[in-house]
Amino acid sequence: MAGTENGPGLGLEPAAGLAKSPTGIKGFDEITGGGLPTGRVSLVCGGTGSGKTIFGISFLVAGAVDYGESGVFVAFEETEEELSRNVASLGFNLDRLRDEEKLLVDYISIERSEVEANGEFDLEGLFIRLACSIDSVGAKRVVLDTIETLFGGLPNESLVRSEVRRLFRWLKDRGVTTVVTGEGGKDSISRYGLEEYISDCVIFLDNRVTHQVATRRLRVLKYRGSVHETSEFPFIIGKLGLSLLPITSLGLAHSASKDRISSGIEGLDEMLGGKGYYKGSTVLVTGTAGSGKTSIAQHFVDSACARGERCLVLAFEESPDQLKRNMMSVGIDLDRWTEKGLLKIHASRPSLLGLETQLVNMHSFVDSFEPEIVVVDPVTTFTVAGTIIEAAAMLARLIDFLKDAHITAMLTSLTSAYEPIEASQVGISSLVDTWIMLRNKEQEGERNRFISVMKSRGMANASSIHGFEITSSGVQV
């Protein structure tokens, strides 16, 4: 992601002298240094299904619930009943906010045939209606969805441009913070090619499909009077509305613990200076298929649960029952920890969801369970939901998130037998604190396993390669 003059990977500070209204959209307020310009008009444009209406609803609901600012939603395509029903699945209760007089939804039906038949078009009626709606709830925020429907019946483009300019000026004179949604044009950002020039902030939403996986992306094209991030940022629309997780929301300001925790394997602890990993660090375990990556990871989980620490395992190749059964063969009983509430296992196929949805789901699992240890096994499966570069970028954000929460993380990664041994397939070895490499070697008709510490920041570690065995009593180094 591109940085700004405030520095890459850092949230932007609000611009001095420019008042901003927070949207409540996770991540968006960080890349804009506070939200949308207060008392001005912002344009949110994009194609069908890109999330324009949800952006507007999120802005109004956050204002009403979190910031004490009532709002008005003017709909030209959906009735109040339809809109309330459509957004209820995202956790928005518009009926309750309406009853509390914090939100007013005004549906205005405009028939194009009537405009064409009468040959008349005047915004005075809209201004009167808007003014009444704003005054009735004391609104500080307004959303118009969508502007093309309002002007769709006008064949004269110069008249459209004149009326659009007049509408935007009226909204600014009223001092309300406004979001206007609009469809993209063929040769311009907006349909009429004017909206983006007279808006103080322009946000472009995109919904693209790559390798059968859909990804929504957001970009702030323009923000008068304010520094802002100009890169594209993936976002999702989930159970909590619109969520943006830019890399800028997570920096390198997390603290570093001096406490050490055991790997659960005595011989491996000895290779790590006799004390194991640093608490809150990130550990990468790489190796070819069958080299013992999952066994190493579950020893770590078993040891942590025995200390009374909560562990979250995100499995992408085995079901929870299969993982528990397989670990019993090496003497690790995971069932006892799940029964005590110390262990939670989430299993899914990464190909079912895009990378951003996977990342948001992992955030949600961590937030709800509050673990001290997180294991992701394996991270290489994310390449089926995106390119290696996209998977690496997503994992970098996951690593930063876990570090910021002081969570010790272990990631396993499959290494191809045809690639260099000292390589991680998703390219994150430089981001982790400790890198454990496993390898198999056939000698005299036997397959022998070897383990080495490629790096371990901040501690003395063994430089030699050690043999190890996976027995019914666990991993023996």
| 4: in domain | no
Write out pLDDT tens, residues 435-451: 999 998 887 778 899 99
Report the pLDDT averaged over residues 57-69. Answer: 96
- The string of DSSP codes covering 268-279 is HHHHTTTS-EET
Same domain for 88 and 150, yes or no, is yes
Q: What is the pLDDT of residues 221-230, one digit of tens each?
A: 999 988 888 8
Q: Which of 249, 275, 295 is the last residue of a domain?
A: 249
Vertex 5: Cα angle to 62 and 8 (nearest 5): 75
The answer to whether residues 317 and 208 belong to one domain is no
Query: Does residue 5 lie in a domain region?
Result: no
Q: Which residues contact 322 (CB under 8 A, 6 or more apart)?
A: none
Same domain, 231 and 301: no
166: in domain: yes
The pLDDT tens digits of the residues spanning 342-359 come to: 999 999 887 777 787 788
Asked if residue 239 and residue 281 are part of one domain, the reply reads: no
Question: Which segment of 6-10, 90-94, 185-189, 426-430 scores lowest on mean pLDDT?
Answer: 6-10
> Residue 353, exposed/middle/buried by CB under 10 A (0-12, 13-18, 19+)?
middle
Query: In which domain, by residue range, is 416 found?
Result: 260-476
Output the CA–CA distances (angstroms, integers) from residue 299 to 169, 258, 377, 432, in the order listed: 65, 22, 13, 19
Residue 36 lies in a domain: yes
Length of the chain: 477
Mean of the per-residue pLDDT values of the chain = 85
The predicted structure's pLDDT at residue 115: 47
Q: What is the pLDDT of residues 151-186, one digit of tens each?
A: 765 666 677 778 888 899 999 999 999 999 988 766
State the DSSP string of 83-147. Answer: HHHHHHTTT--HHHHHHTTSEEEEE----HHHHHHH----THHHHHHHHHHHHHHT-SEEEEE-H
CATH number of the domain residue 267 falls in? 3.40.50.300
| Residue 364 maps to a domain | yes
Beta partners for residue 329, in sequence order? none
Judging by beta carbons within 10 Å of its beta carbon (0-12, 13-18, 19+), is residue 241 exposed, middle or buried? Answer: buried
Asked if 213 and 64 sit in the same domain, the reply is yes
Query: Where is the domain boundary, 201, 222, 249?
Result: 249
Pair type for strands 233-238 and 466-471:
unpaired
Is residue 78 domain-shared with residue 109, that is, in the same domain?
Answer: yes
Amino acid, single-letter form, for residue 20: K
**CB–CB of 183/145 below 8 Å?**
no
Is the predicted pLDDT of residue 461 greater than 80, yes or no?
A: yes
302/234 same-domain check: no
Query: Is 13 inside any structural domain?
Result: no
With tokens 């579950």, the residue in question is 298
Where among 221, 249, 277 does a domain terminate? Answer: 249
Mean pLDDT of 418-422: 53
Q: How confident is the model at residue 1 (pLDDT cuts 50, 70, 90)?
A: very low
**Residue pair 222/20 in contact by the 8 Å Cβ criterion:** no
Same domain, 199 and 287: no
* Same domain flag for 292 and 365: yes
Positive or negative, the Cα torsion across 357, 361, 363, 367? positive
* Residues 201 and 224 sit within 8 Å (Cβ to Cβ): yes
What is the structure's pLDDT at 455?
93
Q: Are 267 and 260 in contact (CB under 8 A)?
A: no
CA distances, 350 to each of 10, 272, 345, 347, 383 (Å): 29, 32, 15, 9, 9
Q: Are residues 317 and 359 in the same domain?
A: yes
Distance CA(107)–CA(65), nearest Å, equals 22
Residue 5's pLDDT band (boundaries 50, 70, 90)? very low
Residue 59 binned pLDDT confidence (cut-offs 50, 70, 90): very high
Contact 189, 196 (CB under 8 A): yes
pTM for the model: 0.72
Q: Is the pLDDT score of 420 beyond 80?
A: no
State how far the Cα of 397 lies from the Cα of 73, in Å rounded to an integer.
34
Q: Is residue 2 part of a domain?
A: no
What does residue 313 show for φ and ψ, rounded to 5 degrees?
A: -110, 125
Q: How far apart are CA 298 and CA 343, in angstroms?
A: 11
What is the model's pLDDT at position 307?
Answer: 96
In a domain, 83, yes or no: yes
Going 158 to 161 to 162 to 163, the CA torsion angle's sign is: positive
Q: Above 90 in pLDDT, residue 382?
A: no
30-43: burial string, b at 16+ Cβ within 10 Å, e else:
bbbbbbbbbbbbbb
Residues 84 and 228 reside in one and the same domain: yes
